Chain A
């Protein structure tokens, strides 16, 4: 089962730029939560703060409290431990090109020295099935490289790779923005299926996508969280004028 995420007074800087200002937010477990907002509003920075990826950039800095389940990730644990519990899917599919499909999915476990071949086989199959990719690749698991399949397949491979470590949270940073509509639909279906088992946070530029897959939606603007509510409420009766302007397409 997934874990919920509680964010308190999260601030982030990128060099001198204050990219996230006092974010407070509760993301419920085992649901999908969408983050929308114009480019540069801080929504990507926000998800990168949830698995401490933000600070991997030498000029970046984050302060505040982020609780995943019962762990304060900035206090109680090392980044490596955090990232083992949180899967991440990036905007551009990034399978390891020198590894086979099988090895790509198994990489998170092999990395940590997991050697049980039987369980590994099982995990790879389950993860690929969960990512709706199994039928397309099951015959070339160890023959084809992770980079030899199509872009949409690569992205689902990356999702399978993230699922293989059985994460509590799945972060997705515009996972479908580099994909065609058919692949996008597949990814959305997948999110729809996966959210019963994992807490999913998805950054998207596509408001329809947010409406289709997420129960909750947060609207970011210039580094602040303007509004966070039930998706239906955000899209039909937003409380903030700025949210209304954005979703009706008057700016952004």
Chain B
């Protein structure tokens, strides 16, 4: 120990100097009008306040719009609600002639077709985004990315037409028999296969939501800093290990976000699904069987709905779709929250 007053300092600490060692820089003050100009400017309190107020109004309009939609749906489906009560959501009946309505087959069709579509689309979309970011040669990157985004811009009725003329025959003659042969034992691929049905609808939905998932997850992965990749590579990770360790881990919350967006689109998709799902309100174990969704029954039957109860029931179907979308999204968010809880690592 040193006694106070006789501290042994490293020699280098105190190169006392009175002049700069480098080239002498001329320190010139900016003209004094600068300071007076800046001090004459307003504090920005008013402008910032106005800006903030405007933003709040815009943000609040979201609540307003949602409430408006919800109230219209609820008000116009009152008759159906009074007639069927909660049974509306658990009943499988759909008989306009007798006036007996239930939403269960439609809810089933919407949820199952959307979840199937997400299961099909996510691996494909992630592979495409990983390929584009990490593996793809530079010259090919632009075209593939462009085409992916093009897919998102095609109107859904075009997808429907394409599905009727191309996808349905393929599902009927090629894919269907194969599935029946090798996976028939699961029971999911039994019964007659007409080409139109749940599975075909899921496939066309998957194709439709794939560009959304792919382009958003690609942006998220791109935002993972280079030094995170280098950290993994420097540990001797292979390319795949690096992607798993750095890219996917860091981007996982954003990737789930992209999947949720895709799911949202799948739940509400109407046209293409209506054209190939078969429109039969039945809950069947077989994915070959025709089914129907909340959106497609509204599209199919609204214009020819006769009688107040029928119209009211269709509007309640709309309400059911609204609720299903919210519930599914909430579950997805809860999943994200549960996975990332207590983990401060952020996505982007």
Residues of A within 8 A of B (CB): 77-78, 80-81, 84-85, 109, 112-114, 119, 122-123, 126-127, 129-132, 163-166, 185-186, 188-190, 192-194, 196-197, 207-208, 211-212, 232, 235-238, 244, 247-249
Indicate which residue in B2, B22, B37 contacts A186 across the interface (CB closer than 8 Å). Answer: B22
Q: Are the CB atoms of A112 and B43 closer together than 8 Å?
A: no
A130 touches B26 (CB 8 A): yes
Task: Find chain A residues with CB under 8 A from B44 CB.
Answer: 78, 80-81
Complex CA–CA separation, A207 to B11 (angstroms): 12
Q: With A80-B44, A211-B14, A248-B9 in contact, do A132 and B29 touch (Cβ < 8 Å)?
A: no
In the complex, the answer to whether B13 meets A164 with C-beta atoms within 8 Å is no
- In the assembled complex, 14 residue pairs joining A and B whose CB atoms fall closer than 8 Å, in A order, are A84-B39, A122-B30, A129-B25, A130-B27, A193-B25, A197-B27, A197-B29, A208-B12, A235-B13, A236-B7, A236-B9, A236-B14, A237-B5, A249-B10
Give the number of residue pairs across the A-B interface with Cβ within 8 Å.
Answer: 112
- Tell me the minimal C-beta distance from A103 to chain B in angstroms: 17
Whether a CB of chain A sits under 8 angstroms from the CB of B95 is no
Task: List CB contacts (< 8 Å) of B26-78 with chain A.
Answer: 26-35, 37-39, 41, 43-45, 48
Kindly state the separation between the CA atoms of A207 and B13 in the bound complex, as whole angstroms: 6
Q: Does B20 contact A (CB under 8 A)?
A: yes
Contact A126 B28 (CB under 8 A): yes
CB distance from B55 to the nearest CB of A (A): 16
**Chain B residues bordering chain A, tally (CB within 8 A):** 38
| Interface 0/1 of B306-323, CB less than 8 Å to A | 000000000000000000
Known contacts A126-B30, A185-B22, A193-B25: A112-B9 contact under CB 8 Å: no
| Beta-carbon contact of B34 and A123 below 8 Å | yes
- A122/B7 in contact, CB under 8 A: no
Minimum CB–CB distance for B33 against chain A, Å: 7
Q: Are A164 and B30 in contact (CB under 8 A)?
A: yes
Tell me whether A208 and B15 are in contact in the complex, defined as CB-CB below 8 angstroms, given that A185-B21, A189-B25 are known contacts. yes
Would B15 and A113 count as touching, CB distance under 8 A?
no
Ranked 3 nearest A-B pairs via Cβ: A78-B43, A189-B22, A189-B20
Could you say which of A163, A193, A207, A247 contacts B24, with CB atoms under 8 Å apart? A193
Report Cα–Cα, A95/B14, bound state, in Å. Answer: 33
Specify which chain A residues have a CB less than 8 angstroms from the CB of B35 in the assembled complex. 166
A48 to B10, CA, bound (A): 31
**B225 to chain A: closest CB distance in Å?**
13
How far does the alpha carbon of A235 sit from the alpha carbon of B45 in the complex, in Å? 45
Nearest residue in B to A210 (C-beta to C-beta)?
B13
Q: From the candidates A78, A166, A197, A212, name the one contacting B34 in the complex (CB within 8 A).
A: A166
Contacts of B32 in A (CB 8 A): 166
- Distance between B37 CB and nearest chain A CB, rounded to angstroms: 6
Question: Judging by beta carbons under 8 Å apart, are B28 and A130 in contact?
Answer: yes
Q: Report the minimal beta-carbon distance from A58 to chain B, rounded to whole angstroms.
A: 14
A40 to B69, CA, bound (A): 51
Determine whether B8 belongs to the interface, using a CB cutoff of 8 Å to chain A.
Answer: yes
Is the CB–CB distance between B10 and A80 below 8 Å?
Answer: no
**Chain A interface main SS type:** helix
Which chain A residue lies CB-closest to B5? Answer: A237
Q: Are B31 and A123 in contact (CB under 8 A)?
A: yes
Q: How far is the CB of B185 from chain A (nearest CB, A)?
A: 56
* Cβ of B17 under 8 Å from chain A: yes
**Distance, CA A192 to CA B17, complexed state (A):** 10
Shortest distance in angstroms between A50's beta carbon and chain B's nearest beta carbon? 18
Can you name the residue of chain B whose Cβ is closest to the Cβ of A108? B38
Contact A235:B9 (CB < 8 A) given known A166-B34, A166-B35: yes
**For the complex, is B304 an interface residue (Cβ under 8 Å from A)?**
no
Cα distance A249–B13 in the bound complex, in angstroms: 11
Q: Looking at the complex, which one of B17, B34, B43 makes contact with A81 (CB distance below 8 Å)?
A: B43
Rounded to whole angstroms, the CA-CA distance of A196 and B28 in the bound complex is 11
Return A200 CB to nearest CB of chain B, in Å. 12
Give the nearest-CB partner of A194 in chain B.
Answer: B27
Residue B143 CB within 8 A of the other chain: no
Q: Give A133 to B30 CA distance when docked, in angstroms.
A: 16
Select one of B7, B14, B23, B31 contacting A132, CB under 8 A: B23
**In the assembled complex, which residues on chain A have CB atoms less than 8 Å from the CB atom of B17?**
212
Q: Which of A80, A114, A211, A249 contacts B15 (CB 8 A)?
A: A211
Residues of chain A within 8 A (CB-CB) of B23 are: 132, 189
The answer to whether A114 and B37 touch across the interface, beta carbons within 8 angstroms, is yes
Contacts of A194 in B (CB 8 A): 27
Closest Cβ of chain B to A226, distance in Å, is: 15
Specify which chain A residues have a CB less than 8 angstroms from the CB of B39 in the assembled complex: 81, 84-85
Min C-beta distance of B332 to chain A, whole Å: 26
Shortest Cβ distance from residue B88 to the other chain A in the assembled complex, whole angstroms: 44
Asked whether B13 lies within 8 Å of A163 as measured between CB atoms, the reply is no
Which residues of the other chain, B, contact A80 by a CB distance below 8 angstroms? 43-45, 48
| Nearest Cβ on chain A to B191's Cβ, whole angstroms | 57
| Chain A residue nearest in CB terms to B26 | A129
- Given that A84-B41, A248-B7 are contacting pairs, would A163 and B30 also be in contact in the complex, using a CB cutoff of 8 Å? yes
Shortest C-beta distance, B43 to chain A (Å), equals: 4
Q: How far is the CB of B51 from chain A (nearest CB, A)?
A: 12
B15: min CB distance to chain A, Å: 6
Q: Contacts A127-B30, A193-B27, A194-B27 given; indicate if A238 touches B7 (C-beta within 8 A).
A: yes
Q: Are A212 and B7 in contact (CB under 8 A)?
A: no
Given contacts A123-B34, A189-B20, contact A237 B27 (CB under 8 A): no
Contact residue among A165, A207, A212, A248 (Cβ-Cβ distance under 8 Å from B38): A165
Hey, which chain A residues are within 8 Å of B8, CB to CB? 248
